[in-house]
Amino acid sequence: MASKMHPETAVIHAGRLREPQGSLVSPIYQSATFVFDDVQTGSARFAGEQSGPIYTRLGNPTVAEFERRMAHLEGADGAVGFASGMAAVSAVLLGLLSSGDHLICNTCLYGCTHSLVSEQLPRFGIEVTQVDFADLEAVRAAIRPSTKMLLLESPVNPHLAVYDLAAVAALAREAQLVSVVDNTFMTPLLQRPKSLGIDIVLHSATKYLNGHGDVIAGVVCADGDTLELLRHRSLKDIGGVLSPHDAWLILRGMKTLALRMERHCLNAQTLAEFLESHPAVTRVYYPGLESHPGHHLLGSQMGAAGGVLALELDADFEQAVAFVNRLKLFSIAVSLGDAESLVQHPASMTHATYQVEDRHRAGIGDTLIRLSAGLENVADLLADLRQALAPLSQSSTLEEAL
């Protein structure tokens, strides 16, 4: 019965075990270690001959419930929770790649992921090639005998490019490569990469999964031997462990995920349509707009367009910064997926780690602004954007008059 649950039901019920005291809400197992009845029991658990908790770095009942829920939602054999989204990314790259291996990733990635692949992986003898995944023939041409993995986001942070994940997965299978997709922007309610053939799906659970801006966490969903390797090599030995309390907070947040995503998407669509028609805005990046190159994947790859959008202003760097500073309801913060609407300037914030030429090659201009549409009444958000854009509109009108 559980496997047939709709996603809106699964975010509440999947992976739950009957609580022996009858508590409706799953308890927090806030314990570093667990007691064995005798040495023989402890030995059997360490040997993998008996199930049961040992030590929270190796597994915890509260964390395990979160992992089971995510595995169900993403259609994976299992999942591994981590202390942050970057711990999840690092676990996959450092756990599955070795010295001499070659990674192909997209030209644009979250800023810290970009730093990891461009600065840290080469220190371990792992070669990296960055290619625009919109051109799969260029990806194919970059494959070498030493290539082991394809890594991308879709939609991309921060400019919402969308890639055909089924085509990426087919290319990976053909070349016998591991395909990895960061699904943070979509959540498994809007996009399920594994159903399209992707091997590994990861999330920053900090964002929509938790949804309340009070947790840092990550999760990787995978199958079979990969799952066990990540758990024992990356989690046990490197130690980016998700705390039971944070796992419990995410479980609580996920109960409203379906409702929240509906409102996030509705607000983002309304904001995108308004901004696309505004004279001070030169371009809007949002898959829900017909002008977006990935719009055709709505309904097949993506169930909806998500709650994040980006825009470019008819302005310079200083004017773009001033626009952000004028916003009142959009808090200036570098996360997304919270109840509060957020705004950030990628060139000087999340993607400031890029070299200038790499940033421009990735399509991140000086006037690009990323918005995370929150749960507020959209009329208030529109009013805030109007007042912040007004000086730019007046400036454009004055220039035209002169």
Q: What's residue 212's pLDDT?
A: 97
125 with 210, same domain: the answer is yes
pLDDT (mean) for 335-363: 89
- End of a domain among 254, 288, 310? 254
Tell me whether residue 77 is one of the annotated catalytic residues.
Answer: no
78 with 127, same domain: the answer is yes
Token representation of residue 275: 């901004």
Tell me whether residue 182 is one of the annotated catalytic residues.
Answer: yes
Tell me whether residue 110 is one of the annotated catalytic residues.
Answer: yes
pLDDT (mean) for 330-348: 96
Say which of 110, 163, 208, 286 is annotated catalytic.
110
Q: What's residue 393's pLDDT?
A: 80
261 with 247, same domain: the answer is no
Tell me whether residue 207 is one of the annotated catalytic residues.
Answer: yes
- Residue 19 domain boundaries: 2-254
Cα dist. 322→275, 309, 313 in Å? Answer: 17, 19, 11
pLDDT above 60: residue 399: no
Per the CB < 8 A criterion, the answer to whether 373 and 311 are in contact is: no
229 with 127, same domain: the answer is yes
For residue range 48-86, what is the model confidence (pLDDT) as tens digits? 899 999 999 999 999 999 999 999 999 999 999 999 999
What percent of the chain clears pLDDT 90, i.e. is strictly above it? Answer: 90
CA distance 400 to 402: 5
CA distance 24 to 385: 42
Say which of 55, 57, 236, 255 is annotated catalytic.
57
For residue range 8-22, what is the model confidence (pLDDT) as tens digits? 999 999 999 888 889
- pLDDT-derived band at 373 (thresholds 50, 70, 90) equals very high
Q: What's residue 57's pLDDT?
A: 94
Say which of 101, 132, 182, 246 is annotated catalytic.
182
What are the DSSP calls for 212-278, one per residue?
Answer: SS----EEEEE-HHHHHHIIIIIIIHH--PPPHHHHHHHHHHHTTHHHHHHHHHHHHHHHHHHHHT-
Q: What's residue 402's pLDDT?
A: 46
42 with 62, same domain: the answer is yes
**Domain tally for the chain?**
2
For residue range 134-180, what is the model confidence (pLDDT) as tens digits? 999 999 999 999 999 999 999 999 999 999 999 999 999 999 999 99
236 with 284, same domain: the answer is no
Q: Between vectors from CA 366 to CA 365 and to CA 371, what angle results, nearest 5°? A: 80
| Residue 26 per-residue DSSP state | P
Token representation of residue 3: 């496997």
Place of tokens 């960061």: 182
pLDDT above 60: residue 207: yes
Length of the chain, in residues:
402
Pairing of strands 368-372, 342-344: antiparallel
11 with 91, same domain: the answer is yes
